[in-house]
Structure 1
Amino acid sequence: MRSRREDYSESTRSALVRSAVRLFTERGYAGTSLDEIAKRARVTKGALYHHFSGKQAVFEAAFDEVEAEVKGRLEKILTGSQPPWERALAGLREFIGSCLDPAYQRIALQEAPVVMGWARWREAEDRYSFGLIKQALQDLIDAGEVLAVPVEVTSRLLFGALCSAATEIAHATDQRKVGEEIEDVVVRLLNQVRSAAPGT
């Protein structure tokens, strides 16, 4: 059984991460201080340092929090009961919707490449997103919805395209319009591959 102390420690860390997500979303990394994060979480700065080594560590925990939420929603869709093609389209719409979410957009797309460095950010994005893309593609191939393409290479290409699409949305003046355009283009491309599949 977990001790009361362990429960308290976990709740303190969760409160700090939630506080960090809100503040980094509202003010960005440079505009947020550790004092403000601790104050909003209603804990001491010492308690913050008990859980995190510094501001970047807090940011990376906030990044993990928003990425895990998006991944959870996508996993639920992509492992659902709908046919693979419908799951893939619903997953695409959910991903684009996530790119419009202020927390995901500010923390994962705008701030993280700078704070974490581009290489570490891409590695983290790979950890959260690539497996989902690869499995969705494999499901489409297994169902005969698309041509049997090399899964690893094609998944990498799709992953790169979606990362670029997410960045494009995050930095666009009219983000919703760009999101709709990206969805339309990706669906058109997928339909081209689908129409070439045997039996479709």
Structure 2
Amino acid sequence: MQQKTSRRTNRERSDTTRAAILDAARGLFVSRGYADTSTPDIVSAAGLTRGALYHHFEDKKALFRAVAEREATAVAAAIEQATAKGLTAREALKVGARAYFDAMNHPGRIRLLLLDGPAVLGKHEMMAIDAANAQRTLEEGIAEAMAPAAVAPEKLAALASLLSAAFDRAALDIADGASTELYAETIGTLIDRMVST
């Protein structure tokens, strides 16, 4: 029995260390950028050793990927929470778009996911992170909203990719001071026209 308690404590300690590294790295990646953040800076900010960092992450790029994954998961969770009510598929797409804009407004997310993410990890790796989070549900939402018309999988993927790109561009413009309401309304019009075809 005591051995199980000890293992749980080790696991909790490991999770706490990992979270501290991720939190410190996120703060530095947001304030300084990936290129100007060193692993010694990260461990110093986390109050840990380099050994602790390398126990959890292969290198700085792997650490950045983990930060990006955590941010993408948080965005997807915000969208899912906002669309969990009894909405029609079309309404869910519109509410989800607004939830995306709000979630991306969280300090640092634009830089991590839309600016530094593709530069550090590459387009394909960022697409894989997106696919593991919001992309699948976006495709499902589009398919449901376009029903009863059957949409070929490759066309569905293309529609989701284009709509996702529109969401990203809107989030960038909103971060630069554009009206969230205007973009939410405009994306809503785009969704209406897309699903009525």
TM-score w.r.t. the length of structure 1 is 0.82
SS in structure 2 at match of 1:150: coil
| Residue identity opposite 1:186 in structure 2 | I
- Measured in 1, the distance between the counterparts of 2:62 and 2:194 equals 42
Structure 1's 66 and 174: CA in aligned 2 closer, same or farther, altered over 3 A? closer
Percent identity of paired positions between Structure 1 and Structure 2: 23
The structural deviation recorded for 1:168 is: 5.7
Aligned-partner residue type, residue 101 of structure 1: H
The question of whether the paired residues in 1 share the 8 Å contact of 2:57 and 2:63 is answered with yes
Structure 1 residue 55, shift from structure 2 partner: 0.7
* Alpha-carbon separation, structure 1, partners of 2:17 and 2:142: 40
1:7 correspondence with 2:9:
no
Deviations 1:24-68 (A, max 9, x none): 111110121111211222211111111111110110110011011
Deviation larger for 69-78 or 118-127 = 118-127
Which residue number in structure 2 is paired with residue 184 of structure 1? Answer: 185
**What's the offset of the Cα at 1:124?**
2.2
* Residues 1:135 and 1:79: Cα distance change in structure 2 (over 3 Å): farther
SS of 2:178's equivalent in the other structure is helix
From 162, 165, 173, give the equivalent of 1:163.
165
**Deviation (angstroms), 1:139:** 3.3
| 1:6 positional shift | 1.5
Specify whether residues 193 and 107 from structure 1 end up closer, same or farther in structure 2 by C-alpha distance, changes over 3 A only: closer
CA RMSD of aligned residues (A): 2.5
2-side partners of 1:168 and 1:83: how far apart? 23
| Aligned equivalent of 2:23 | 18
Whether 1:55 aligns to 2:60 is: yes
Q: Distance in 2 between matches of 1:177 and 1:95?
A: 15
Distance 1:126 1:78, change over 3 A: same
Partners of 2:94 and 2:176 lie apart in 1 by 20
Gaps of 5+ in 1: none
Q: Look up the match of 2:141.
A: 136
Q: Distance in 2 between matches of 1:155 and 1:180?
A: 27
- The answer to whether the Cα contact below 8 Å between 1:63 and 1:112 also exists between their aligned partners in 2 is yes
Residues 157/191 of structure 1: CA separation in 2 closer, same or farther (3 Å cut): closer
Partner of 1:126: 131
In structure 2, the CA distance between the partners of 1:112 and 1:167, relative to structure 1 (3 Å rule), is farther
Q: Is 1:105 aligned to 2:110, yes or no?
A: yes
Q: Is the 8 A contact 2:94 2:187 kept in 1?
A: no
Rounded to whole Å, the distance in 2 between the matches of 1:173 and 1:75 is 21
C-alpha change, 1:78 and 1:125, in structure 2 (3 Å) is same
CA distance in 2, matches of 1:181, 1:80: 24
